[in-house]
Amino acid sequence: MTISMQQLADRMGGVSQRSYETRTEDERDYARIVHSAAFRRLQGKTQTLGVAESDFPRTRLTHSLEVARIGSGIVQALRRRLAGHGPALGLREAQRADVAALLPSDQQIQCICLAHDIGHPPFGHGGEMALNFHMREHGGFEGNGQTLRILGRLESYSQQHGMNLTRRSLLGVLKYPAPYSKVVNQQPLNPGVGLTELRAGLLKPPKCYLDSEADIVAWLLAPFVGDDRERLQAIVAGAEGEHAKPCHKGFDTALMELADDISYGVHDLEDATSLDLVRPQDWAASMARADNLPAWFDQDRLGKLFFGEPYQRKEAIGEIVHRLILSIVLVEDEAFQHPMLRWQASLPPAERCLLRSLHGMVVSRVIGLPGTQMLEFKGQRIVGDLFSVYASDPMRFLPETARRQHAEALDAEAAIRVVCDHVASLTDEQAARQFQKLFMPKMGSVFDVM
C-alpha cells in the first residue's frame, strides 16, 4: 500500500471547502500554527536561560523560529545536492529522484519546525517534571506528547480536531511514536513522597505521546501497511528503573530534529557566551575531550571568532551551522516499505560529536550550575503547587472555559487532564503571577486576568 499525496494532505475532521481559498494545504497549516494562541505563548516560555535572565533571551518562540529557518535550509540544501549541486550524497540516480520527490516543501518543514515545541509547559523541564509527577497515575505528561494534543485536539480551529492540520504535518511532529503506558518505567514511586523530595532523575517523563491521543496516532498511521506501523512503534527496553525508548521516526521528523539539534547546539551556546558564562578555556577543554571532530572544524580559528567581537561570533556561528547542514547524509532503512519511513536524514559521527561538544559547554557551564538548577526547581515548585490547587477544587479556581471543559469531561481521567492542560498552557509570567496571588499576602487582585 502506498500513501497518496491526498492521503498525506487529509485532515482528521475533513477539509472544509471554501470557494475563495487560494492557499495550498501546506500554507494553510503554516498559517494555523503562526496565528494560534499556543504558538504566541511560546514567547513567554523558557528555552535554556530564564525569560528574565537577560535583555535578549532566547525563548521557546525565538528558538522555534530559528529551528524553522535551519529546517528550511536543510531541505533547500538537500534539494540542491540531490540535483547534483554541492557535496554528493552517494545515492543512485533513481534514489536521488525518489528522495527529491519526498522532500517537504519549505512551508511544510517550517510548519513542522515551528510547531515542534508548542506543547512545552512553563519553566521548561522543571514544569514538565512537576506535571508528570502529578499526572503519573493519570497517563503522565510529556512536552512532545502535549504538542500532539494541542495540535490535534485542543486549539480552537475546529470543534474536535484542534488545528485540524494535515496528516503529514502531524506525522512530522510525532517525535516519539510510542504511548506513555508502553514506555514508562513501571516501578512506582514511594507512596507519600512529595514532589520536592525526589531527585530530578526520578521525575523525568519518558519520550512518548500521551495515551489520550491514541486515536490521533491511529489515524496518522492508518495508511501505512501493518508491518510499517508495527516497526515504527517499536521500542527498546531501558535499564532497570529507566524508561523504555522509541526506536524510529518519520522522514520529516528526522529533518526537524536535525534542525532542532543544530539550533540548541550552536545558538544556546551563543547566549551563554554573550553572558560570559562560557569562556575560551571552556571551549578549549571541551574540544580537547572530543575524540572525533570533523576535518573541516578549525577549533582554534573558530574559537577565536566565537569569543571575539559580536560580528565575529556571528561569522563563526554561520560557518558552523552551514557546514553542519552540508554534512547531513541520507540513510535508507530497507526494513520499511514506505519511503516516508524508509528514508532518514542524519549527521555523520564526527559532526554529531561536534554538536555534543558544543552543547556540552551549555550543560556544564549553564544548565548544570547550582544557580540554574535552583531556578528550575523553583519553576517545578510553582507548577506543582498550581496544579495541586486547581486539582483540589477545579470549579472554584479554574477559569471559565476550563471549568466548562472539566464539567463536560466524560470521566475522572479526562477531568484531571483538563487541569493539566490549563497549567501546561501558562507562560512563565502567568504561572508566577498566579502563584503569587495564591500564596503571597498582599499580592494579586480580583481584576487579574487568569
Dump pLDDT digits (tens) for 266-288. Answer: 988 888 888 888 999 999 999 99
Do the domain assignments include residue 8? no
Number of domains in the chain: 3
**Are 98 and 164 contained in the same domain?**
yes
Here the CATH number for the domain that contains residue 117 is 1.10.3210.10
Residue that wins the pLDDT comparison between 373 and 134: 134
**DSSP strand pairing (343-346 vs 245-246):** unpaired
pLDDT, tens digit (0-9, with 9 covering 90-100), for 331-360: 999 999 999 999 999 999 999 999 999 999
Do the domain assignments include residue 17? no
In this predicted structure, what is the pLDDT of residue 395?
A: 96
In this predicted structure, what is the pLDDT of residue 67?
A: 97
Binned at pLDDT 50, 70 and 90, residue 448 comes out as: low
Residue that wins the pLDDT comparison between 178 and 59: 178
In this predicted structure, what is the pLDDT of residue 278?
A: 92
Do the domain assignments include residue 357? yes
pLDDT, tens digit (0-9, with 9 covering 90-100), for 188-240: 777 778 888 888 888 999 999 999 999 999 999 999 999 999 999 999 998 88
In this predicted structure, what is the pLDDT of residue 146?
A: 98
**Are 107 and 173 contained in the same domain?**
yes
Binned at pLDDT 50, 70 and 90, residue 130 comes out as: very high
Can you spell out the DSSP letters for 106-175?
Answer: HHHHHHHHHHTTTT--TTHHHHHHHHHHHTTTTT---HHHHHHHIIIIISTTSSSSTT--BHHHHHHH--
Cell of 15: 477539509
**Are 122 and 261 contained in the same domain?**
no
| Chosen domain end from 249, 273, 293 | 249
In this predicted structure, what is the pLDDT of residue 449?
A: 60
Return contacts of 212-217, CB within 8 angstroms, 24+ apart.
212/139, 212/149, 212/413, 212/414, 212/417, 213/145, 213/148, 213/149, 213/152, 213/153, 214/179, 216/12, 216/148, 216/152, 216/153, 216/170, 217/148, 217/174, 217/177, 217/179
pLDDT, tens digit (0-9, with 9 covering 90-100), for 64-111: 999 999 999 999 999 999 999 888 898 998 899 999 999 999 999 999
Whole-prediction pTM value? 0.93
| Chosen domain end from 231, 249, 267 | 249
Do the domain assignments include residue 13? no
Domain interval for residue 173: 26-249
**Are 362 and 382 contained in the same domain?**
no
Do the domain assignments include residue 70? yes
**Are 198 and 319 contained in the same domain?**
no
**Are 109 and 208 contained in the same domain?**
yes
**Are 245 and 109 contained in the same domain?**
yes
Do the domain assignments include residue 282? yes
**Are 382 and 418 contained in the same domain?**
yes
**Are 239 and 284 contained in the same domain?**
no
**Are 122 and 180 contained in the same domain?**
yes
Under 8 Å between Cβ of 387 and 134: yes
Arithmetic mean of pLDDT, 113-120: 96
**Are 97 and 168 contained in the same domain?**
yes
Instruction: Give me Rg for the CA atoms of the chain.
Output: 22
Do the domain assignments include residue 444? no
